[in-house]
């Protein structure tokens, strides 16, 4: 999403701003922290036999890993001589594609959550077309944005440069930022009605979920509701940041601090998706695993007997 803080016109000329090394170091540190946390989360889910996750869940983590990695490509070349033009173009492609991809995985995760709740209440399976759409949409969107930036960059290489705050490369024209911004805002707005429908389905079938999802003290687990609540409100700050970022150019004193704030989003995602019960249980090596974890799959709803077999881990996938 940092790609939205780009030049708005010819006033953003290389060297117009003076890159601040402490801010660049902070930016790199925040991005690196998010990358390490996300890698820890995805590797735990992939390697631990007791952790089961859906394709949309993996897509969320992979998308934000892609985002953090993209902004670190220029690390070590953010000040001093201009970076190689090829590296600059590749990073430009990725940083314009990453926000669009992140927005799409959020929508797809919400759709998978919808089909999970719908399937649990009706005992039906999601169609192959919807599953294919959920898995492929983020990658298709990212590819198209990369293709757009690549075409512009190859036609006019002078448009590709390191931005004035020195944190990453971008294009000096506003067209790619407009395209990415429109995609992000449109997709994130589309998430809201999906989340609203899921909330409505939860409320409509509340008594059933209390029966199927009751813990030892009864009721729907607080961890699940807190995590779902965070996911519900997450689109709002993303849309707000996308809109606010349009107010700043590279030369603005607020551009670098805003870029650092946006760079904290991967850390937020890692904490939201990495603090689930079964993932934390893997890292609790001092505790014995009494039985395998069998989380609920958003694609194939479980029967009542399977859900009641191990209720805590079953809800960790939400």
216-224 LR contacts (CB < 8 Å, sep 24+): 221/312, 221/315, 223/276, 223/277, 223/315, 224/315, 224/318
pLDDT in tens, 38-68: 999 999 999 988 888 888 889 999 999 999 9
Across 42-56, 251-265, 269-283, 297-311, least confident range:
297-311
- Of residues 229 and 121, the one with the higher pLDDT is 121
For residue range 157-185, what is the model confidence (pLDDT) as tens digits? 899 998 888 889 999 888 898 898 889 88
The predicted structure's pLDDT at residue 15: 41
The pLDDT of residue 76: 87
pLDDT-derived band at 86 (thresholds 50, 70, 90) equals very high
Q: Which of 134-138, 221-225, 232-236, 263-267 has the lowest mean pLDDT?
A: 221-225
Q: What is the pTM of this model?
A: 0.78
Specify the pLDDT at position 19.
Answer: 63
The single residue listed with the structure tokens 């551009």 is 255
Please check the confidence at residue 124 and state whether its pLDDT lies above 90: no
Residue 310 β-bridge partners: none
Could you tell me the fold of the domain covering 2-314?
A: Rhopdopsin 7-helix transmembrane proteins (1.20.1070)
Residue, of 146 and 300, whose pLDDT is higher: 146
Domain regions of the chain by residue span: 2-314
Model confidence at 127, pLDDT cuts 50, 70, 90, reads confident
CA distances from 238 to 171, 186, 218, 269 (A): 22, 12, 35, 12
pLDDT score, position 273: 87
């Amino acid at each position: 999403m940092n790609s939205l803080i780009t030049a708005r016109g010819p006033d953003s000329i290389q060297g117009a701003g003076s890159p601040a090394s402490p801010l660049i170091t902070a930016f790199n540190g925040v991005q690196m922290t998010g990358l390490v946390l996300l890698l820890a989360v995805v590797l735990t889910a992939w390697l631990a036999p007791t952790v089961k996750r859906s394709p949309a869940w993996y897509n969320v983590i992979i998308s934000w890993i892609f985002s953090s990695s993209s902004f670190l490509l220029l690390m070590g070349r953010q000040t001093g001589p201009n970076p190689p033009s090829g590296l600059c173009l590749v990073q430009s492609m990725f940083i314009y594609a990453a926000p669009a991809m992140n927005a799409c995985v959020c929508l797809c995760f919400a759709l998978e959550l919808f089909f999970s709740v719908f399937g649990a209440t009706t005992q039906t399976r999601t169609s192959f077309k919807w599953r294919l759409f959920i898995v492929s949409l983020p990658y298709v969107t990212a590819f198209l944005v990369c293709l757009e930036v690549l075409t512009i960059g190859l036609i006019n290489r002078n448009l590709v440069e390191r931005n004035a705050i020195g944190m990453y490369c971008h294009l000096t024209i506003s067209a790619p930022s407009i395209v990415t911004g429109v995609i992000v805002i449109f997709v994130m707005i589309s998430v809201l009605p999906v989340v609203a429908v899921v909330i409505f389905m939860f409320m409509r079938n509340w008594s059933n979920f209390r029966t199927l999802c009751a813990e030892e003290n009864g009721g729907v687990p607080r961890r699940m509701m807190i995590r779902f609540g965070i996911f519900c409100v997450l689109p709002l700050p993303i849309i707000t940041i996308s809109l606010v970022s349009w107010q700043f150019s590279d030369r603005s004193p607020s551009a670098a601090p805003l870029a650092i704030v946006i760079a904290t989003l991967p850390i937020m995602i890692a904490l939201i998706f990495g603090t689930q019960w079964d993932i934390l249980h893997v890292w609790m090596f001092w505790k014995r695993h009494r039985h395998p974890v069998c989380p609920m799959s958003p694609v194939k709803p479980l029967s009542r007997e399977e859900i009641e077999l191990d209720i805590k881990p079953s809800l960790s996938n939400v």
